[in-house]
Homo-oligomer: A and B are copies of this chain.
Amino acid sequence: MATEIPDLLISEVGPRDGLQSIKAIMPTADKFKWIDALVAAGLREIEVGSFVPASHLPQMADTALVVRHALQHRGVTIMALVPNRRGAAAALEAGVHKLTIPVSASAAHSLANVRKTREQMVEELYAIVQLRDAIAPGVKIEAGMSTAFGCTLQGAVPEDEVIWLAQQCIAAGADETGLSDTTGMANPAQVRRLFNKLRAAIGVKCGAAHLHNTRGLGLANCLAAYEVGVRTFDSSQGGIGGCPYAPGASGNVVTEDLVFMFEAMGLNTGVDLEKLFAARLLLQAGLPGEPIYGMTPEAGLPKGWLQRSPSHGS
C-alpha cells in the first residue's frame, strides 16, 4: 500500500444490501466469518445488516447479533440500515457506530417503497436524529438519497428535487447525505454534475457514492465521482445485491473490481486484494450455489502486481 493513510474509504455493504436481496439466508455463523475476513482484508466501514421486521426480511433477523459480533473489531465503523424510528432504536441499542437511512429522491419511489411521502420521510429522519441525540449522541447518521439518478417508476428525477431533499435531510440533522443510483441509471456526466451540485449545497456533509453496475457503468461512475471529490464509495463483495436483472448483470458495484481500479491507479484503499479474494471464498461458502460477480477475482491480479513500488501507478 502506498501510504499508511488511505486515500479513500470503501464502505462494504454486502452483508446488508447484498444479503437482503438474496432469497437464501446466510447462517449467522457464516456472516461472522465473512465479516471477520472483510475486516482482515482491510475494510474499515461495513454495513452489517438492516433493522427491519424479520417477517419482512428474514435474511436480516440476526442483525443485532451480527452487530454485536462485528463490534469486537476495533477501528472498524459498524453500520446498519434503519428505515424508521423503531429500527433506529434497535440499532442504537445494539451499539452500531453509524446509521444509514434511505430517503427516496423520487416521489413515486418513496410512496411505493416506504409508503411515505418524501416530506414524511424527512420527518422520520428528524425523529431518528432526536432519538440518537437523546440516547447515543456519538452515533453518526447518514441519509442515503435513493433513486437520485433516475427511477424505474417515474423515469427522470429532477436534480433540483434531489438537492432540495438532501438539504432537508441535513436540516433535519443528518451528519451526511450521499447519493444512490438505486436503479442503475446513472452516467458519469450526471454523477459529476449531481455530486458537484450536492457539494455546493451541503459542503462537507456530502456523503458516499452508492453506485450500481446494472448497465456496466459502475466503475466508470465511481471514477467520475472520485474526480469531483467523492472519497467514500459503497460497494458489495461479489457484487451481490442491488437490483440484478440478469446473470452477469450485478447490482452493486463489485468491491473487488473497485478496489483493483483504485489501487491500480496508485490510490491507497487500505484494502489488501489477496485477502479480499480470501473473504470472497467465505461469502461463497455461506451462500452455496448463489451467483456472485466480479471480474478481477476471475482474471487474477496482473503480472507484476505484487512487485509494484510503494508509489505504484503514480
Chain B residues near A46 (CB-CB < 8 A): none
Is residue A313 contacting chain B, with contact meaning CB distance below 8 A? yes
A276 to B239, CA, bound (A): 27
Chain B residues near A302 (CB-CB < 8 A): 150, 152, 155, 183-185, 215
Is residue A249 contacting chain B, with contact meaning CB distance below 8 A? yes
Is residue A298 contacting chain B, with contact meaning CB distance below 8 A? yes
Is residue A156 contacting chain B, with contact meaning CB distance below 8 A? yes
Do B156 and A245 touch (CB < 8 A)? no
Chain B residues near A217 (CB-CB < 8 A): 219, 257, 260-261, 264
Q: Give residues of chain A (58-96) contacting chain B, Cβ–Cβ below 8 Å.
A: none
Chain B residues near A224 (CB-CB < 8 A): 223
Do A248 and B188 touch (CB < 8 A)? no
Interface string of A19-36 (1 = CB under 8 A from B): 000000000000000000
Q: Which residue of B lies closest to A265 (CB)?
A: B189
Is residue A117 contacting chain B, with contact meaning CB distance below 8 A? no
Instruction: Flag the segment in A121-129, A138-146, A166-174, A289-297 that touches B.
Output: A289-297
Do B245 and A187 touch (CB < 8 A)? no
A152, chain B: closest CB distance, angstroms = 6
Q: Which residue of B lies closest to A239 (CB)?
A: B216
Instruction: Name 5 A/B residue pairs within 8 A (Cβ), A-sorted.
Output: A190-B264, A190-B265, A216-B295, A223-B223, A245-B300
List the 4 shortest-distance A-B pairs measured between CB atoms, nearest first: A155-B304, A187-B264, A246-B298, A216-B295
